[in-house]
């Protein structure tokens, strides 16, 4: 029995306070699965480039619910729950492959690529003995089908009929910024997963926190790569849960706002012995060197110079999150561009010069708030507004996240 009384009322300050129980409460976690991931949201499922041919499938997740995404015989994308109608076993165990039919290994019930149950092994028994009665309804517990929608090669799915059309859900500015990166056919470069020792929302919150980037990620600041004094901005779109932040590097005027504030991140000066690490090409042609875009509840699109990736947030339990990274280039990349992207892959992922700290920092929060469930984080940079801003010294997109979250959860 817990002696701590569960008071799940949101603080009166509304969006400038986030109570720590949202990262800790297992009941809240279960509710999120139903109301958010299986509710009226579009969940990122992967790149269309992962499923180029009819019969290709991949396994993925809608929150913690396993799903299968396929390309059927007609070339249509399909997605459905990865659960057999019979006893609930996983239908697809491999992460990817190419098949004509999907057969459950447990009792060999068989499905088409759209997730329709097509046959039940020994349904009529053998030699008139055994089998199911004629009145049986083996499809009554069929895997649930997702609606699937794509934009510029990105696949999203939703279980709900009430989720608005994808582009409306994203918002026009997010759509434009997605198309900006996904402007020509992509090729897969590979992937990996980073396990975060914290609640999934702490990761999403971190991605939407434009204020932390140059303060936590010192690699940026030490090389004067991304400083908040550089030109850029943040745009909040949709119901608040979607945002994009962007920077135009090389516009830093070498001012001394960091030095004069005596901040740790400005101290010292590192010099690269292999400065080719920073070689980059303005391949989109608009001078934007860094763009981070996130869509509630599970999607991040990243352009850090020429390092391009999608990241899928998969909650594993209340205090563990898997971040599935998939990196890509464009199909028309030449060898020189391939080499450039590979060198820039050093920026990202669990060993990335400018992203390795995220797992540590969000884990520090999960550990730090143990015993403080009725306290709250303070999110007042930029006031209490949710609006696009030319400054990234703001927490506007973090407040946007919590507005969307509270809307879905009814909190």
Partner 1 sequence: MAMAMDIALQLTVENLLARYTHAIDDDNLEAWPDFFVEAARYRITTAENHERGLPLALVHADSRAMLRDRVNALRHANVYEAQRYRHVYSGVLVTRINDDTARAVSSFQVARIMHSGETTLFASGRCIDRIRIAGENGVAQFEERLVILDSRRVDTLLAIPL
Q: According to CB under 8 A, which one of 55, 197, 233, 407 is a site residue for partner 1?
A: 197
Q: How far apart are CA 59 and CA 90, in angstroms?
A: 10
Q: Which of residues 29-68 bind partner 1 (CB under 8 A)?
A: none
Which one, 13 or 338, has the nearer CB to partner 1? 338
- The CB density around residue 244, as the number of other CB atoms within 10 Å, is 25
Nearer to partner 1, 254 or 271 (CB): 271
In 3D, which of 87, 49, 44, 100 has the Cα closest to residue 67? 44
Q: Which of 193, 231, 280, 391 binds partner 1 (CB under 8 A)?
A: 193
Q: Residue 353 in contact with residue 219, Cβ under 8 Å?
A: yes
DSSP3 helix / strand / coil % (the chain, rounded to 5): 25, 25, 45
Q: How far is it, in rounded angstroms, from Cα 61 to Cα 313? A: 9
Pattern 331-370, binding to partner 1, x per CB under 8 A?
-------x---xx-xx--xxxxx--xx-xxx-x-------
Task: Say whether residue 279 binds partner 1 (CB under 8 A).
Answer: no
Q: How far is the CB of 276 from partner 1 (least distance, A)?
A: 8
Distances (CA, A) of 202 to 197, 207, 209, 212, 360: 10, 9, 10, 13, 11
Give the number of other CB atoms < 10 A from CB of residue 129: 7
Q: Identify which range of 126-134, 190-198, 288-296, 387-395 contacts partner 1 by CB under 8 A.
A: 190-198
Residue 109 or 223: the one with the smaller Cβ distance to partner 1 is 223
* Residues forming a β-bridge with 46: 155
What ranges in 223-351 are assigned the alpha helix state H? Answer: 257-260, 335-344
The CB density around residue 389, as the number of other CB atoms within 10 Å, is 21
Beta carbon nearer to partner 1, 333 or 389: 333
Query: CA 301 to CA 294: how far, in whole Å?
Result: 6
Write down the least CB distance from residue 274 to partner 1, Å.
4
Which of 21, 61, 196, 296 contacts partner 1 by CB under 8 A? 196
- 3-class secondary structure per residue, 66-114: EEEEEECCCCCEEEEECCCCCCCCCCCCCCEEECCCEECCCCCCEECCC
Binding of residue 194 to partner 1 (CB under 8 A): yes
Q: Which of 105, 132, 188, 257 binds partner 1 (CB under 8 A)?
A: 188
Report if residue 315 touches partner 1, rule: CB under 8 A. no
Structure token digits, residue 323: 């971040």
Q: Which is nearer to partner 1, 182 or 221 (CB)?
A: 221
- Decide: is 190 part of the binding site for partner 1 (CB under 8 A): yes
Q: Which of 151, 277, 365, 387 binds partner 1 (CB under 8 A)?
A: 277
CA neighbours closer than 13 Å in the CB half-sphere of residue 218 = 9
Residues in region 214-273 near partner 1 by CB under 8 A = 216, 218-219, 222, 268, 270, 272-273
Stretch that binds partner 1, among 85-93, 186-194, 239-247, 292-300 (CB under 8 A): 186-194
Among 68, 174, 327, 398, binds partner 1 (CB under 8 A): 327
Contact residues for partner 1 (CB under 8 A)?
95, 188-197, 216, 218-219, 222, 268, 270, 272-274, 277, 322, 327, 338, 342-343, 345-346, 349-353, 356-357, 359-361, 363
């Amino acid at each position: 029995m817990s002696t701590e009384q569960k008071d799940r009322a949101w603080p009166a300050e509304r969006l400038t306070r986030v109570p720590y129980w949202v990262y800790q409460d297992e009941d809240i976690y279960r509710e999120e699965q139903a109301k958010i991931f299986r509710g009226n949201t579009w969940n990122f499922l992967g790149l269309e480039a992962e499923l180029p041919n009819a019969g290709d499938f991949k396994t993925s997740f809608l929150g913690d619910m396993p799903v299968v995404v396929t390309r059927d015989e007609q070339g249509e994308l399909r997605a459905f729950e990865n659960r057999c109608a019979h006893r609930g076993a996983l239908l697809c165990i491999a992460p990817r492959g190419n098949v004509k039919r999907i057969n459950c290994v447990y009792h060999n019930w068989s499905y088409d690529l759209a997730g329709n149950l097509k046959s039940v092994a020994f349904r009529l028994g053998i030699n008139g003995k055994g089998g199911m009665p004629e009145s049986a309804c083996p499809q009554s517990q069929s895997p649930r089908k997702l609606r699937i929608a794509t934009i510029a090669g990105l696949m999203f799915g939703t279980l709900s009929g009430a989720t608005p059309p994808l582009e409306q859900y994203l918002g026009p500015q997010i759509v434009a910024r997605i198309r900006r990166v996904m402007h020509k056919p992509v090729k897969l470069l590979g992937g990996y997963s980073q396990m975060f020792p914290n609640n999934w929302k702490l990761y999403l919150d971190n991605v939407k926190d434009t204020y932390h980037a140059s303060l936590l990620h010192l690699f940026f600041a030490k090389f004067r790569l991304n400083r908040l004094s550089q030109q850029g901005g943040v745009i909040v779109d949709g119901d608040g849960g979607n945002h994009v932040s962007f920077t135009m590097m090389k516009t830093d005027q070498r001012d001394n706002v960091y030095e004069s504030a005596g901040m740790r991140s400005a101290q010292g000066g590192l010099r690269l012995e292999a400065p080719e690490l920073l070689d980059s090409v303005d391949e989109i042609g608009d001078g934007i060197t860094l763009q981070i875009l996130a869509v509630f509840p599970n999607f991040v699109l990243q352009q850090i110079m020429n390092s391009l990736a999608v990241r899928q947030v998969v909650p594993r339990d209340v205090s563990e999150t898997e971040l599935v990274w998939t990196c890509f280039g464009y199909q028309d990349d030449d060898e020189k561009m391939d080499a450039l992207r590979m060198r820039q892959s050093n920026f990202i992922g669990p060993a990335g010069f400018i992203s390795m700290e995220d797992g540590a920092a969000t884990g520090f929060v999960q550990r730090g708030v143990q015993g403080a469930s009725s306290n709250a984080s303070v999110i007042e940079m930029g006031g209490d507004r949710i609006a696009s801003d030319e400054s990234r010294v703001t927490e506007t997109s973090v407040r946007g996240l919590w507005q969307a979250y509270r809307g879905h959860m009814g909190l």
